[in-house]
A and B are shown apart, each in its own frame.
Chain A
Amino acid sequence: MNYRTKIRLQNILVYSILSIIVFFSLFPVVWMCIISLKDTSESISGFNSLWIAHPTLGNFSKLFNAIPIWTNLYNSAFTTLLGTITTLFFCSLAGFAFAKYRFPGKQFLFYFVIATMLVPPEVGSVPLFIIMKNVGLINNLWSLVIPRIATAVGIFYMTQYIKDVPTEIIEASRIDGCGDFKIFTRVVIPIIKPALASWAVLTLIARWNDFFWPILFLRSSKKYTLMVSISLLPISDGLSTPWPVIMAGTTFAIIPIIVLYLMLQGLQKAGLTTGAVKG
Chain B
Amino acid sequence: MKIIKAVKRYRYPYLFILPFFLLFLIFQLIPLIWTVGISFTEWNGIGSPKSVGLGNYQLLMKDYMFWDAVKNTVYYWVTGVVFILLLALLVSSLLNNKGLKASRFFKTASFLPNVCAAIAMGIIFGMLFDENAGLINQILVTFGGTRVPWLTSVTMSKIPVVILNVWRNTPWFTMIVLSGLLNISPEYYEAATVDGATAVQKFFKITLPSLSNILFFCFITLTVDSWKIFNEPYILSGPGTSNVSLFQYMYQSGFSIFKMGYAAAIGCILTLILLIISIVQFAIRVRQGEM
Question: A interface vs B, CB < 8 Å?
Answer: 11, 14, 17-18, 21-22, 24-26, 28-29, 31-32, 35, 44-47, 49-50, 90, 93-94, 96-98, 101, 103-104, 106, 109, 113, 116-131, 146-152, 155, 180-181, 184, 205, 208-209, 211-212, 216, 227, 230-231, 233-234, 243, 246-247, 250, 253-254, 257-258, 261-262, 265, 271-279
Cβ-defined partner of A276 (8 Å) among B118, B171, B176:
B176
Closest to B132 in A: A45
Tell which of A97, A113, A147, A243 has the most Cβ of chain B within 10 Å.
A97
With both chains docked as a complex, state the minimum distance between the C-beta of B38 and any C-beta of chain A, in angstroms. Answer: 6
Asked whether any CB of chain A lies closer than 8 Å to the CB of B148, the reply is no
Asked whether any CB of chain A lies closer than 8 Å to the CB of B97, the reply is yes
Cβ-defined partner of B125 (8 Å) among A28, A103, A126, A254:
A28
Is the pair A211, B117 in contact by a Cβ cutoff of 8 Å?
A: yes
| Segment at the A interface, from B9-17, B57-65, B77-85, B187-195 | B9-17
Given contacts A25-B171, A253-B117, contact A113 B20 (CB under 8 A): yes
Closest to A117 in B: B224
With both chains docked as a complex, state the minimum distance between the C-beta of A193 and any C-beta of chain B, in angstroms. Answer: 19
Given contacts A152-B20, A233-B123, A279-B213, contact A14 B94 (CB under 8 A): yes
Is the pair A127, B275 in contact by a Cβ cutoff of 8 Å?
A: no
| Contact-size category for B | 35 or more
Given contacts A126-B263, A258-B112, contact A273 B107 (CB under 8 A): yes
Question: B interface vs A, CB < 8 Å?
Answer: 6, 10, 12-14, 16-17, 19-21, 23-24, 26-28, 30-32, 34-35, 38, 45, 90-91, 94-95, 97, 99-100, 104, 106-121, 123-128, 132-135, 137-138, 167, 171, 175-176, 178-180, 182-183, 211, 213-214, 217, 220-221, 224, 227-228, 230-231, 234-235, 247, 250-251, 254-255, 260, 263-264, 267-268, 270-271, 274-275, 278
Cβ-defined partner of B123 (8 Å) among A11, A93, A101, A234:
A234
With both chains docked as a complex, state the minimum distance between the C-beta of B222 and any C-beta of chain A, in angstroms. Answer: 13
| Chain A residues within 8 Å of B135, by CB | 31, 46-47, 49-50
Is the pair A14, B228 in contact by a Cβ cutoff of 8 Å?
A: no
| Chain B residues within 8 Å of A271, by CB | 104, 107-108
Q: A120 to B114, alpha carbons, bound, how many Å?
A: 20
Q: A26 to B132, alpha carbons, bound, how many Å?
A: 24
With both chains docked as a complex, state the minimum distance between the C-beta of A115 and any C-beta of chain B, in angstroms. Answer: 9
Q: Tell me the interface secondary structure of chain A in the complex.
A: helix
Closest to B255 in A: A216
With both chains docked as a complex, state the minimum distance between the C-beta of A209 and any C-beta of chain B, in angstroms. Answer: 4
Q: A247 to B30, alpha carbons, bound, how many Å?
A: 41
Is the pair A17, B94 in contact by a Cβ cutoff of 8 Å?
A: yes
Q: A240 to B111, alpha carbons, bound, how many Å?
A: 34
Q: A243 to B130, alpha carbons, bound, how many Å?
A: 11
Is the pair B274, A119 in contact by a Cβ cutoff of 8 Å?
A: yes
